[in-house]
Amino acid sequence: MARLNVNPTRMVLTSLKKKLVVATRGHKLMKDKRDELMKQFLELARQNKVLREEVERQLAEVYRNFAIANAVMSSEMMEEALMYPKQGVSIELGKKNVMSVDVPVFDFTTTTTEHTDIYPYGFATTSGELDIAIARLSEVFPILLQLAAREKETTLLAEEIEKTRRRVNALEYVMIPNLQETIKYIKMKLDENERGNQTRLMKVKDMMLEAAIKEKQALSAAAFADYIGKQV
């Protein structure tokens, strides 16, 4: 906690009080934002865990079917069957705003709408396990995109939480205490100046009163001397 280097005047005191009010209000708003971000982050992390487990489960099934297909088909036939994809995919990247944070939103469309277009080969020379693997991979693809978007959203929220936390700490432990300490110092100096002014005023009044008494005494003495002179 450090006092700001300012002149201890009433104008500065008024300005610092206004800054303290703004800083206190901003601190509350930033804390509320941090708490809401944390709430959303924890909920998103929970959803990510469930989604990741589902993706891992489905991918394990896909890998198992590919392994079986690779066991019953030759490597050359497998490579030839998968060499030229029949269906293309277009991914569009959008965004949404979450607590002033722009997070990505993925959307994809296929070049064709026919379900059988996911198979880039004929069925005469391939195994059924390869068909199942391709179908399962097609099903897990949208979930993979969703997981990627959620993971990125989680990362961005974590970064925003850290930024907000630093701002809250700066206000709570640096700016607000410094303003409070400076306001306290200025009030003390102004009180000292006020007491000094009152002391000086009292001394001036005492001096004026003493001068007035002396002047009155001198006038009384002169009047008395004049009276005695007339009597003689």
Quick: pLDDT tens for 172-192. 999 999 999 999 999 888 888
Please tell me the distance from the alpha carbon of residue 227 to that of residue 232, in angstroms, as a whole number. Answer: 9
CA distances from residue 208 to 43, 196, 216, 217, 221 in whole angstroms, order as listed: 79, 18, 12, 14, 20
Under the banding of pLDDT at 50, 70 and 90, the label for residue 24 is very high
Using 50, 70 and 90 to split pLDDT, how confident is the model at 23?
Answer: very high
* Check whether domain 10-85+122-180 has CATH 1.10.287.3240, yes or no: yes
In 99-156, at which residue ranges do the beta strands (DSSP E only) sit? 101-110
Instruction: List CB contacts of 147: < 8 A, sequence separation 6 or more.
Output: 48, 51, 52, 55
Query: Mean pLDDT score of the chain, rounded to an integer?
Result: 83
The secondary element (H helix, E strand) that includes residue 100 is none
**pLDDT (tens digit, 9 = 90+) per residue, 28-86?**
999 999 999 999 999 999 999 999 999 999 999 988 888 888 888 777 777 777 776 77
CA distance 141 to 201: 87
Residue 26, pLDDT score = 94
Instruction: Tell me what pLDDT residue 177 has.
Output: 92
pLDDT tens-place string over residues 84-107: 677 777 778 888 887 788 888 878
Tokens of 17: 């009080």
134-157: burial string, b at 16+ Cβ within 10 Å, e else: bebbbebeeeebbbebbeebbebb
Pick the range with the lowest mean pLDDT from 46-50, 114-118, 143-147, 152-156.
114-118
Note the pLDDT of residue 33: 92
> In the structure, what pLDDT confidence band is assigned to residue 18 with cuts at 50, 70 and 90?
very high
pTM as predicted = 0.70
pLDDT of residue 215 exceeding 80, the answer is: no
**pLDDT at residue 232 greater than cutoff 60:** no
Q: Find the mean pLDDT for residues 7-35.
A: 92
Residue 91 gets the label, from left (phi > 0), alpha (psi -120 to 50) or beta, of beta
Sorted by where each begins, the domain ranges of the chain are: 10-85+122-180
pLDDT of the residue at 222: 67
